[in-house]
Amino acid sequence: MVPQVAGSRNARKRPVDLRGKRDWNSGLCGCNAGDDHEMDICCKACFCPCIIFGRNKARMDHLANHNSPEPTGEMNGGGCAVHGIMTSLSLLGGCVMQIPLRATIRDRYSIAGSCFGDCCTSIFCYPCALTQEYIEISAEEHSFPRGVGGSSGIYYDDPKRYRA
């Protein structure tokens, strides 16, 4: 029997309210609060949101299904491709795909908010929302012990691992 190794869903130890909910690890416009990596993610979210959406979706799916970070750091092309097609058909197409993903992230990390807030944030602050979600997922992935998540030899507390 292999012991289950898990990361922290509140990796940065954010305070929780009486309902057990907390705030996001970064503000909606928090892409400039960290290092250059977050600014890179923010720029990609502005100019190629399908890439960040696909990566966020693949990482969340892997965390949910395997309770470990995605070992290759890659995304499956399906989420990115569908997002790109939806966005090209309608400017709100990508936003519509992102609303349920944002709700899933909020639920997984017990983040305060509402469906209405997710909808407004996804429509009016789309690149910032994608970046905020990326940072949130990264915080959990970085909380796993070194080497957890696959035989690829990738260490999850290595900041170079998350270069997009």
- Rounded to 10 deg, the angle between the 126-142 and 93-108 helix axes is 30
- Asked whether residue 11 is domain-assigned, the answer is no
pLDDT digits 0-9 by tens, 71-95: 765 666 667 777 777 777 777 777 8
pTM for the model stands at 0.80
pLDDT digits 0-9 by tens, 92-116: 777 888 899 999 999 999 999 999 9
**Per the structure block, which two tokens stand in for 135?**
């940072």
- Asked whether residue 149 is domain-assigned, the answer is no
The total of structural domains in the chain comes to 1
- Asked whether residue 10 is domain-assigned, the answer is no
- Asked whether residue 65 is domain-assigned, the answer is yes
- Asked whether residue 126 is domain-assigned, the answer is yes
Question: Where in the sequence is the domain holding 118, given as residue range(s)?
Answer: 30-144
